[in-house]
Amino acid sequence: MALLIVDFVVGFDDPDQFGGGNISEACDNTVVLLEACRSLGLPIAHTRIVFAADGSDDNVFSRKVPPLKDLSEDAESSQIVARLKPRAGEIIVKKRLPSAFFGTDLAANLTLRGVDTLLIAGCVTSGCIHASVLDAMSHGFRPILIGDCVGDRDEGAHEANLRVLGQIYADLMTRDEAIAELSRR
């Protein structure tokens, strides 16, 4: 088992940039989950959206949502929020597409660590979370979506995506349910 935290970066935590809705609350809820996973020594993976500052790696995603191009390596908005700051040994995945898996070595990293199940937190539920859950399942991992640790600017889209993902692609748990399950391991 491992924890995947998708795109909890400064820009998505800020309602004046990419945030809003329940994203900051989901980020806050993830702090407790992260500490529980760390205390058990579980593998932890964080993702960031990172585009080249010169625009040389723009793609359909960044053309559809042009402000994403501002999420460059050195941009403050692309840095993981301080309250979830990665520790040494945790995986940091830089991505340019919605899925944490597409075009990255995340699946190989998790497989190398013997992971078969992923707790998933992050944002946004209707975009990068949805894509990451589908790809996690497609790579043979059992996705467990932590409903109060994922957020979206649009709470209607958040709820609709939780419903669809829970019906077909992932198990749904709250943070407290996940921590209780972890404590029984």
Determine, yes or no, domain membership for 37.
Answer: yes
User: Looking at residues 38-65, what average pLDDT do you find?
Assistant: 95
In the chain, how many domains are there?
A: 1
Q: Residue 172 belongs to what domain range?
A: 2-48+77-183
pLDDT in tens, 64-86: 999 999 999 999 999 999 999 99
Determine, yes or no, domain membership for 87.
Answer: yes
* CATH number of residue 91's parent domain: 3.40.50.850
Which residues have a catalytic role annotated? 128
Determine, yes or no, domain membership for 82.
Answer: yes
Determine, yes or no, domain membership for 91.
Answer: yes
Determine, yes or no, domain membership for 123.
Answer: yes
CA 57 centroid distance within chain: 21
Determine, yes or no, domain membership for 66.
Answer: no
For residue 46, what pLDDT is reported? 98
For residue 185, what pLDDT is reported? 78
